[in-house]
Amino acid sequence: MVMTKETESKWNGFSLKPRKDMPAGLWMRCPGCEHMLYKKAVEKNLHVCPECNHHFRIETTARIEYLADEGSFQEVLADLTTSDPLSFKYRGTSYKQRIKDDEKKSGAREAMRIGKAFIKGRGVILGVMEPSFLMGSMGLVVGEKFCVAVEKAMEESLPLVVVCCSGGARMHEGVISLGQMAKTSAALAKYDEAGGLFISVLTDPTTGGVTASFAMLGDVIIAEPGALIGFAGPRTIAETIKVELEEGFQTAEFMLEHGFVDMIVHRKDLRSEIARLIDYCQK
């Protein structure tokens, strides 16, 4: 018998039925244990790997949802955006275009959101950094938002809670971004003199100018498990001074062992721990 198009078998190796493609975005690989994970299961687990407890980076919307009492976050300065003071260009892309691209990607206007919120009924001024917006880098707007958050915490006699997640000072704004290190540190000095409580939460990664300023100035410094915390990252150190770092260097666990953070808290316990600290400090 001669095979024709009409009589040719449609067998695809497993079934004679047309093969259906797997919908995209259902699965993700954990960088910690390299298991393939069902994405919805990870989201249900607060974006923590159910196999190895790797804490994934999360956007500000999810972070606020996990930390603040439902519907309690009242954002301020939501429309504050940066300019392009240096007319900066990098690899053929302007700073202004990069801002537009990251706005579209992250849904955020800048790398930090601030506002008043409640955590288990305790009033706080809450700041959360956005890792998807220029890697959570600190420029003029982030510095200004942080200082406004400090001022509001002083005005209302509330604890200040800031979730740090940053690649450091923003190179696109040059010395203007570096100036925010001194500015935010000075604001915290005033807050400390006023008797305020600053709880700094370090997540993956917390590096560069943010580590060298407000991130490490908390009255209590909390880190999430496995977070990269340091000034220059391991890759930068290896490429510049040609030093191979010991395994686990600059992780939250390393920092705890060497006295740079006060405690490591799993994401599911963060709300309770912050509430406990506020009560303990009678704030």
pLDDT digits over 90-142, tens only?
888 999 999 999 999 999 999 999 999 999 999 999 999 999 999 999 999 99
255-277 pLDDT, tens digit each = 999 999 999 999 999 999 999 99
Provide the pLDDT for residue 8.
52
**Is residue 156 domain-shared with residue 264, that is, in the same domain?**
yes
Predicted local distance difference test score (pLDDT) of residue 211: 97
Q: For residues 137 and 98, is the Cβ–Cβ distance under 8 A?
A: no
Out of 4-8, 60-64, 186-190, 201-205, least confident range: 4-8
Measured between alpha carbons, how far is 250 from 207 in angstroms, rounded to an integer?
Answer: 10
Considering the domain architecture, whether residues 37 and 171 belong to the same structural domain is answered as: no
- 253 has a pLDDT exceeding 90: yes
62 and 50 in a single domain? The answer is no
My answer on whether 85 and 42 are in the same domain is no
- Taken in order 176, 255, 206, 275, the sign of the CA dihedral is negative
In a domain, 8, yes or no: no
Would residue 14 count as lying in a domain?
Answer: no
Interaxial angle between packed helices 174-193 and 140-155, expressed in degrees from 0 to 180 and rounded to the nearest 10: 10
Q: Are 254 and 226 in contact (CB under 8 A)?
A: no
Q: What is the pLDDT of residues 153-174, one digit of tens each?
A: 999 999 999 999 999 999 999 9
pLDDT band at 241 (very low <50, low <70, confident <90, very high): confident
Instruction: Note whether 179 and 232 are same-domain residues.
Output: yes
Q: Are strands 89-90 and 93-94 parallel, antiparallel or unpaired?
A: antiparallel
SS (H, E, C) the chain: CCCCCCCCCCCCCCCCCCCCCCCCCCEEECCCCCCEEEHHHHHHCCCECCCCCCECCCCHHHHHHHHCCCCCCEEECCCCCCCCCCCCEECCEEHHHHHHHHHHHHCCCCCEEEEEEEECCEEEEEEEECCCCHHHCECHHHHHHHHHHHHHHHHCCCCEEEEEEECCECHHHHHHHHHHHHHHHHHHHHHHHCCCCEEEEEEEEECHHHHCCHHHCCCEEEECCCCEECCCCHHHHHHHCCCCCCCCCCEHHHHHHCCCCCEECCHHHHHHHHHHHHHHCCC
* Domain total in the chain: 2
Q: What single letter denotes the amino acid at residue 104? A: K
Q: What is the pTM of this model?
A: 0.89
Cα separation of 82 and 105, whole Å?
Answer: 17
Residue 50 shares a structural domain with residue 187: no
Interatomic CA distance for residues 244 and 233, integer angstroms: 12
Which is more confidently placed, 2 or 273? 273
Contacts of 147 (CB under 8 A, 6+ apart): 183, 184, 187
Same domain for 115 and 38, yes or no, is: no
Q: Which residue has the tokens 């190179």?
A: 171
For residues 3 and 243, the model is more confident at 243
Tens of pLDDT, residue by residue over 33-82, are: 999 999 999 999 999 999 999 999 999 999 999 999 999 999 999 999 98
Domain of residue 42, residue span? 21-54
Q: Does residue 15 sit within a domain?
A: no
Identify whether residues 162 and 217 lie together within a single domain.
Answer: yes
Interacting residues of 280 by C-beta distance below 8 A, sequence separation 6+ = none
Which pLDDT band, with edges at 50, 70 and 90, does 11 fall under? Answer: very low
Q: Is residue 212 part of a domain?
A: yes
